[in-house]
Structure formats: structure tokens, C-alpha cells
Structure 1
Amino acid sequence: MVRLLEQARYEVLPTATTEDKVLQHLPRDRAITVTASPSKGLAATLDLSESLAGHGYVVVPHLAARMISGRTELAEIAERLVGKGITSVFVPGGDAEAVGDYPDALALLEDLQVLGRPFTHVGITGYPESHPSIHDDLTVQSMWDKRRHATHIVSNLTFDPAGVRDWLRRLRARGVTMPVLLGMPGPVERTKLLGMATKIGVGESTKFLAKNKGLFARLAAPGGFTGESFLEKCAPALGEEGAFVEGLHVFTFNQVAETEAWRTQLLEDLRS
């Protein structure tokens, strides 16, 4: 648990107040990922990523495939980000309708290969909990298909330690050996989460709810979910030989101060 918390990175949303929150509450050694919002456009992601990189943070912008028109725009984005010292990206398919040549993440990843692999680290999405519209076997197959173009897997939100264990075993049995960053929520206020879902561009609230079945029920139930208990229950599976889980991907929903306070306090408790 200590190792995972030390290697935690934070996902933030490109809103008007995000930069100030990060500067005020996060040390420069925290890695920050910036989501891509269909409602705000990719420009908001790129602008915030460049600003945070300029302040010295390790920044990982989300390059949602369906929001990029094709190889020409992708080359321009890559040149822009690399020019700012950004060497890591995360490539999901994205919630938007495709605006051009990329119907899915694999198509964009193949073009990054053609462009000479401009980024040192490339993350792809994993689904420990079932995707609402894609069969589990297909999500595992997708990671196999992408393995030549990516360096690690970032799991979607999950709340089921047993599911994490089974998913990791299925990945490794399929021969997908990339390191995994385990996705989990930070200490998000229950009443704030639904409102944030409609504003942050994760998708319309119905899509967000569909992708995270049971999320709100589990968070709202007394004692239903805490980060501490989740990690404690996951720890045996994460420590299994060949699990290759190298850190946490924490969904902050822009509650940056609360998330960092939670992480540092839990680390202090574990070390004492």
C-alpha cells in the first residue's frame, strides 16, 4: 500500500480553477493527468497541460482519439506537447462522436507509431469492471491488440477488490504484461459527484452512470466504500507474482486538496 500511494498520480479536469488548486495543494513531484472533455474541447486539455508542465509538474494529457481529426492534427499536437517537455500521454477512445479518422484508440496509437513514437510513455484504458457496451473478453483482447503501441494500462474506476484480482489474472493469462496503474476515486464528497459528472466532460451524466454502475450507491452507503479498505483488500492480489501493478491513478474530480490530504495522512499512518 505504501508503494502504491507513493506512486499515485492524480486525474484532474480542465476547469477554470484547476491550475490554482494544483499549484496551491500539490508538490511538484505529483504526476497530474488532464482529462479530455467533449464539452470543453481538446484545447482546454492541452492548455492546462502546458501550463502545469511549465510549473514543473509531470503532466499526462488525455488524447481522446475521437476528438482528433487525423494524422495532421495529431502530429501538430505531438510537436506542441513535446516542445513543452511533455513525454507521457494517455490515449482513450473518448466519449465524443468521432470527428475524423480515429473511431477508436487503436487507430490513433497506430498513427503515433507512424509519427515515430514521439512520447516515451503511452497509457491505454483497462476495464476491471464490465464496460456497459463491450464484452469483457473484447476489452482484454483490445489491450492485447494495443500492447505494441503502449507502455502501461490505466484501469477505469473500480470498487471491487475481487474483480481487480480476477481482471489482473485474466490479463496476464492472455499475455498482456504491461504495468498497470489501478484506478480509484479519491475522498470525493458524495453529493458533489453527480453534479461534477455533468460538468466535467466525462460525458453526459447518463453515460457516466452507465459506465460506473453502482458507483453512487456504493459511495453513498454508510461504510460502503473507503480508499483505505479498498487498498487493504486489493493488496494481496496486487502483490501476486506477475501482477505488475506499479501505482495508483486517483480520480480526484477536482477535489485536489482533499485527495492529497487523504493520501499523505494514509501514508503517515501506514509508516508509523
Structure 2
Amino acid sequence: MRRRARADVLEGLLNRVRYEVLPTAGVVDAVAAGLPGGATVTVTASPSKGLDATLDVAERLAGRGYDVVPHLAARMIAGPGELAEITARLRSAGVTKVFVPAGDAEPATGAYDSALPLLRDLAAAAHPFTEVGITGYPESHPGIHDDLTIQAMWDKRQYATQVVSNLTFDPDTLASWVRRVRARDVRLPILVGLPGPVERAKLVRIATKIGVGESARFLAKHGGVFARVAVPGGYDPIRFLDRAAATLGRADLQVAGLHLFTFNQVAETEAWRVAQLARLRGRADRSGARAAGVPGWGIS
């Protein structure tokens, strides 16, 4: 793929983003200070804080004009009765989109031991949400065999409107996974899960806020995520996307945008995104000038 074509892919992805936050104290103000109104913000579910923390943050963000996507972690919901109450609460707040993972609650709170039965109950309730996301796993899940995660995506596809990929730091793994999902005839749009650049000290503070047990589970699920994201030179989101651009830019593979893991560093994540867009656009201008015979420099 030519350099300009790769840059166009990156610019398109960076213009189609949503931001994941954790339901901690002060996160609503952090979002309001860091993101423009109308931005799409997803709110995770924390077993240590309970689902009410997620719903509360979702309601408050919706009240400030954000397009909110709360995580309805299936293992944290008692059953159809509680699901109906949650649905009514969210719809009353103007929330029309949800993301449905199985969640990390151990043991499960009630009737839902995975996302699939909850998704079926939402469908039986006449699909109260316009968008329903499910999880995709480019990397192997530490506690679930690959065959089961593949089968689960196939089973859930008819109840969902999009797939959100979990973290991977290998662009070749991501590209291969996207192609395999399409080869299995799963046609839901894919949002690529991507950590922005974050500060190690702030990551540590976030880890203490979400609880030691959850931090341990997070690290078990994502390997060396803290080290890989925070160490200078260890991870570059743009370099990662650039290496996967030939696949991510294919229209037939339906990569719909980015799901940015902010770790509650919302302003920093948005500043990085805006700066990258400015850089890409500036290079496009210089490349055009060079093609027209005006001194300048092209895509590197």
C-alpha cells in the first residue's frame, strides 16, 4: 500500500473513534473537560464497584450530551427482571447503545454466565437498543479456548450490531484476525480496540482505583499491557495502525473505526488524536505541494 493511501486509512480511523472510560470518581468531569459534546464514550463495568456505578456515570454523561455506551456485563446481572430495570433506566436517560461482554464477576451474580443468554433476552424484549456490541479476541483468551471464543462470536452475531476487538499489540495478529472473522462469514462492523499513549504513573493510580483483584485479572487477560503501553519506544499506536493499514483500509472487511482505551486519561488521549490528525493532514498538504512542484516533503 502506498504511503499516502496508508495515511488516508489512518486519518479515516482517527476520525471514527469512541473512548472507553472506567467508572471512577471524577471521570464525568474528566470527559467533559477533555472531549467535545456528542463524542461517543463507553463506560466499563467493575465488579468491585458494581453495575450501578456504570449506570450512574452513563446517565450523567448522557445528561451532558455525550453518546454513551455502558457495558452491561452479563455476569453482574441477576436475570431478566434486573435486565428489564436496567433497560428502562438507560432508555429513560436517552441511552440507546450498549456493549455486552460476559464480564469478570466470579462467580456470576445470577442467571447469566455469559453474554449470549443476556443478548437473547434483549432480543426477546424487542431489541430496546439500536446498537449492541460484542467482544472479539484477536489474541487467545487466557481462560477460554479459541474454539469457544470463535463459536461464541458466531452464536452472538445475530443479536449484535458490531464487534469490538480486545487488545493486541501485534498488527499482524490484528490483520489476520480481521480476515479470519470475515472468512467465517461474520459480517458485523469491527471497531479496533487500541490504547492511546498513556503515562505509567497514571496507569498505576487507575489500577489502585479499580481494585487489586481487578488489576490482577486485567494483567492476566492482557499480558504486559501496562509495560507495553507506558514504556517509551515499546508501543506506538500510529506505527501499529500503519502496519495493519493494508487490511484495516479494505472496504470489504468493514473496519468501522477505533475503540480507544483511555484508562481515564481522556484529555491526553484526545490531544494525541487531534495531534495525529493534524500531522497526517499537514503531510498530505506538503505531499500535494511537492507533487505540484512546490518545495516540501512527503509522507515518511
TM-score, length-scaled by structure 2: 0.87
The alpha-carbon deviation at position 198 of structure 1 amounts to 4.3
Could you tell me whether the CA contact under 8 Å between 1:61 and 1:88 is conserved in 2?
yes
Residue identity in the other structure for 2:255? V
Q: 1:245 maps to what in 2?
A: 255
The alpha-carbon deviation at position 194 of structure 1 amounts to 4.1
Matches within 5 A, 1:6-17: 6-17=15-26
Cα deviation code 1:149-197 (max 9, x no counterpart):
0000011122110000111111111111100010011111123324423
Determine whether 1:190 maps to 2:200: yes
Q: In structure 2, do the counterparts of structure 1 residues 102 and 215 end up closer, same or farther at CA, with 3 Å as the change threshold?
A: same
Q: 1:164 maps to what in 2?
A: 174
Cα deviation code 1:194-248 (max 9, x no counterpart):
4423422695222111101132342355412111111111211102342211110
Could you tell me whether the CA contact under 8 Å between 2:135 and 2:166 is conserved in 1?
yes
Distance 2:162 2:84 in 1: 22
Q: 1:119 maps to what in 2?
A: 129
Cα deviation code 1:50-99 (max 9, x no counterpart):
11101111000000001100001101111111111111000000000211
Q: 2:90 maps to what in 1?
A: 81
Q: 1:139 maps to what in 2?
A: 149
Distance 1:196 1:225 in 2: 19
Residue identity in the other structure for 2:90? L
Could you tell me whether the CA contact under 8 Å between 2:163 and 2:188 is conserved in 1?
yes
Q: 1:2 maps to what in 2?
A: 11
Distance 2:86 2:212 in 1: 21
TM-score, length-scaled by structure 1: 0.96
Larger Rg belongs to: 2
Could you tell me whether the CA contact under 8 Å between 1:37 and 1:201 is conserved in 2?
no
Number of residue pairs matched by the alignment: 272
Q: 1:54 maps to what in 2?
A: 63
Could you tell me whether the CA contact under 8 Å between 1:37 and 1:203 is conserved in 2?
no
More helix by percentage: 2
Q: In structure 2, do the counterparts of structure 1 residues 243 and 28 end up closer, same or farther at CA, with 3 Å as the change threshold?
A: same
Could you tell me whether the CA contact under 8 Å between 2:199 and 2:230 is conserved in 1?
no
Determine whether 1:179 maps to 2:204: no
Distance 2:41 2:230 in 1: 27
Residue identity in the other structure for 1:200? I
Higher mean C-alpha displacement, 38-47 vs 131-140? 131-140
Q: In structure 2, do the counterparts of structure 1 residues 44 and 247 end up closer, same or farther at CA, with 3 Å as the change threshold?
A: same
1:42 to 51, 61, 67: 51
Give the % identical residues: 63
Residue identity in the other structure for 1:70? G
Could you tell me whether the CA contact under 8 Å between 1:37 and 1:202 is conserved in 2?
no
Point out where structure 2 has 5 or more consecutive residues left out of the alignment.
Answer: 1-9, 283-300
Q: 2:268 maps to what in 1?
A: 258
Residue identity in the other structure for 2:105? A
Determine whether 1:70 maps to 2:79: yes
Could you tell me whether the CA contact under 8 Å between 1:194 and 1:205 is conserved in 2?
no
Where 1:147 maps in the other structure, the secondary structure is helix
